[in-house]
């Protein structure tokens, strides 16, 4: 019986020797290639300081103060039927083990060299009915913020020939004979669990810059930062002296890049790369920087009694380009022949429109003047050809007395007009007519 149990244990070890623990959470190991975790567009004015935020709490290497207590493995058991799981045993990377239930002492064992060999398997010396259930092997790395878990189901049988191990499509199922030892295999030989390197030598952050139109694979390196304190600066000289990252970047996990004062030539795409080889962290954050013109501030108002003269308010502002000590070189790129003819066409079209507008204005002015002359000729001809008729004028009787004494010298064309004018100036005395007498004369006839 003892020989059979040993052979079974060796078979289980051989079956699971090449198994690798898979991550069950989003904080598992990351692939070696850098993955873009954020991409944003920022805009800053010329002459100001641009701050490109790049922060990561996982890159704070000084938080590893517990050293060998940062890595821990623990086994849990869930009996099913909705009952909560219970902790069986745990062990730190320093070798310290703790068994929670008194009856499990000397019955549940973990290898003291588990964190060196990568074998975190749990050995149960004598399997009983109370040992059936779902076991989980949990690995925690507090410094790297990693959590990995593996589930194994244990079943107990009375027939030693039925003891076997198989995969049900989701997890491993181990069928063990009652009273026989059972080995719950959990193997993970990743270096983050087996080796403890010097973290400051495993962490590096670097900033890259892509000028407009340059692809990512041809980006220029700006800065290299190491957790050990070493720094390297690259890039063009006009930009190298104006970029900086905080001296305590790895102590706070803040690797933000500051550029100032900004110049129009600083436009482009900046990327922050975070590499933690010990924890398997590879991240990249991308920033599209756009430089705008500064806003013009209105001149300050000066009150009459503040003692400021007109000479101070009219003094020109200092030229910001003088303090930088750099000369600006303007490069004029020659245009193509097609561009020249296009600009010439625009000029000729504008000139033609102006000429047409000028001709229209001149024609309209001449037409207006010609119409005015014809109207004045017609008006003067009509007044000369028409005879004056004094009968058309109405003379008020009340105003006749005012003009009787006036000697009006008129030139009359005929006698009829002359007589009418004399009657108008010297009217005959009113004649009294007896209507009754006239009526009787008509009646007698």
Q: By the 8 A CB rule, do 127 and 179 touch?
A: yes
Position 139 scores a pLDDT of 96
* Averaged confidence pLDDT in the chain: 76
In a domain, 307, yes or no: no
Q: By the 8 A CB rule, do 259 and 242 touch?
A: yes
Q: How far apart (Å, rounded) are the C-alpha atoms in residues 105 and 229?
A: 47
Other Cβ atoms closer than 10 A to 275? 19
Same domain, 114 and 213: no
Same domain, 179 and 54: no
- Strand bridging mode 257-259 / 243-244: antiparallel
Domain boundary among 161, 194, 227: 194
Going by pLDDT thresholds of 50, 70 and 90, the confidence category of residue 431 is low
The whole domain housing 236 covers 35-61+197-292
Same domain, 202 and 190: no
Going by pLDDT thresholds of 50, 70 and 90, the confidence category of residue 325 is very low
Same domain, 230 and 286: yes
Q: What is the mean pLDDT of residues 319-340?
A: 54
Other Cβ atoms closer than 10 A to 388? 9
Q: By the 8 A CB rule, do 114 and 128 touch?
A: no
pLDDT digit string, tens, across residues 255-301: 999 998 888 888 999 999 999 888 888 999 999 999 998 876 656 66
CATH of the domain at 120: 2.60.40.10
pLDDT digit string, tens, across residues 368-406: 888 766 666 555 555 444 444 544 444 444 444 444 444
In a domain, 176, yes or no: yes
Among 156-165, 196-205, 212-221, 259-268, the range scoring the smallest mean pLDDT is: 196-205
Position 409 scores a pLDDT of 53
Q: What is the mean pLDDT of residues 55-60?
A: 84
In a domain, 368, yes or no: no
Same domain, 8 and 148: yes
Position 334 scores a pLDDT of 55
Position 401 scores a pLDDT of 45
Position 257 scores a pLDDT of 94
User: How many domains in the chain?
Assistant: 2
Position 416 scores a pLDDT of 74
In a domain, 268, yes or no: yes
Q: What is the mean pLDDT of residues 75-81?
A: 84
Same domain, 131 and 159: yes
Position 144 scores a pLDDT of 82
Same domain, 21 and 159: yes
Same domain, 232 and 124: no
Spatial strand order in the sheet of 108-109: 108-109, 122-124, 182-184
Buried (b) or exposed (e) across 43-66, using 16+ Cβ within 10 A? Answer: ebeeeeebebebebebbbbeebee
Identify the residue with better confidence: 181 or 62.
Answer: 181
Q: Check whether 205 has a pLDDT greater than 80.
A: yes
In a domain, 219, yes or no: yes
pLDDT digit string, tens, across residues 85-113: 899 999 998 888 999 999 999 899 999 99
Going by pLDDT thresholds of 50, 70 and 90, the confidence category of residue 217 is confident
Domain boundary among 264, 292, 320: 292
Backbone angles phi, psi at 298, to 5 degrees: -65, 150
Same domain, 41 and 135: no
Q: Check whether 164 has a pLDDT greater than 70.
A: yes
Domain boundary among 194, 210, 244: 194
Same domain, 85 and 167: yes
Alpha carbon dihedral 154, 155, 158, 160, in 10-degree steps, equals -60
Q: Check whether 254 has a pLDDT greater than 90.
A: yes
In a domain, 369, yes or no: no
Q: What is the pTM of this model?
A: 0.51
- In angstroms, the Cα distances linking 270 to 39, 262, 274, 322 are 10, 14, 13, 28
Alpha carbon dihedral 186, 190, 193, 194, in 10-degree steps, equals 100
Q: Check whether 320 has a pLDDT greater than 60.
A: no
> Is residue 59 reached through a cis peptide bond, with omega within 30 degrees of 0 on the bond before it?
no
In a domain, 339, yes or no: no
* SS3 label, residue 98: strand
Among 48-62, 146-160, 191-205, 263-277, the range scoring the smallest mean pLDDT is: 191-205
Q: For residue 32, give every residue at least 6 positions away whose Cβ sits within 8 Å of its Cβ, in sequence order, or none.
A: 282
Q: How far apart (Å, rounded) are the C-alpha atoms in residues 377 and 373?
A: 6
Going by pLDDT thresholds of 50, 70 and 90, the confidence category of residue 442 is low
In a domain, 354, yes or no: no
- In angstroms, the Cα distances linking 5 to 33, 178, 241, 274, 354 are 46, 11, 72, 50, 107
- Using the structure block, give the residue that is written with the tokens 């850098």: 34
Alpha carbon dihedral 6, 11, 15, 17, in 10-degree steps, equals 40
Same domain, 233 and 246: yes
Buried (b) or exposed (e) across 159-176, using 16+ Cβ within 10 A? Answer: eeeebebeeeeeebebbb
Same domain, 108 and 14: yes
């Amino acid at each position: 019986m003892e020989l059979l149990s040993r052979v079974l244990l060796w078979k289980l070890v051989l079956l699971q020797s090449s198994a690798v623990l898979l991550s069950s959470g989003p904080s598992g190991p990351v692939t070696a290639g850098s993955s873009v975790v954020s991409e944003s567009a920022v805009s800053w004015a010329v002459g100001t300081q641009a701050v490109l935020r790049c922060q990561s709490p996982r890159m704070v290497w000084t938080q590893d103060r517990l050293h060998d207590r940062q890595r821990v493995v623990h086994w849990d058991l869930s009996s099913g039927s909705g009952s909560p799981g219970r902790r069986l045993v745990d062990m730190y990377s320093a070798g310290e083990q703790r068994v929670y239930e008194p009856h499990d002492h000397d019955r549940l064992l973990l290898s003291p060299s588990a964190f060196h060999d990568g074998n975190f398997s749990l050995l149960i010396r004598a399997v009983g009915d109370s040992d059936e259930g779902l076991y989980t092997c949990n690995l925690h790395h507090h410094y790297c913020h990693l959590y990995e878990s593996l589930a194994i189901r244990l079943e107990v049988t009375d027939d030693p020939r039925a003891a076997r191990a198989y995969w049900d499509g989701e997890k491993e199922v181990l069928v063990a004979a009652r009273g026989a030892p059972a080995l719950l295999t959990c193997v993970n030989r990743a270096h983050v669990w087996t080796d403890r390197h010097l973290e400051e030598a495993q962490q590096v952050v670097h900033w890259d810059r892509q000028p407009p139109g340059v692809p990512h694979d041809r980006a220029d390196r700006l800065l290299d930062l190491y957790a050990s304190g070493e720094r390297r600066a690259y890039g063009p000289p006009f930009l190298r002296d104006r970029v900086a990252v905080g001296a305590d970047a790895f102590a706070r996990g803040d690797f933000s890049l500051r550029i100032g004062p900004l110049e129009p030539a600083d436009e482009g795409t900046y990327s922050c790369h975070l590499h933690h080889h010990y924890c398997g962290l590879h991240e990249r954050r991308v920033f599209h920087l756009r430089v705008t013109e500064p806003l013009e501030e209105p001149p300050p108002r000066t009150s009459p009694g503040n003692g400021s003269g007109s000479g101070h308010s009219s003094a020109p502002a200092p030229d910001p380009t003088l303090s930088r000590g750099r000369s600006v070189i303007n490069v004029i790129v020659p245009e193509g022949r097609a561009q020249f003819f296009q600009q010439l066409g625009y000029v000729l079209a504008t000139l033609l429109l102006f000429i047409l507008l000028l001709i229209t204005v001149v024609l309209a002015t001449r037409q207006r003047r010609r119409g005015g002359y014809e109207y004045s000729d017609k008006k003067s001809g009509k007044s000369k050809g028409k005879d004056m008729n004094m009968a058309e004028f109405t003379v008020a009787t009340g105003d006749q007395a005012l003009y009787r004494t006036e000697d009006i010298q008129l030139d009359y064309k005929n006698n009829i007009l002359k007589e009418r004018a004399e009657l108008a100036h010297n009217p005959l005395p009113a004649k009294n007519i007896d209507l009754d007498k006239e009526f009787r004369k008509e009646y007698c006839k």
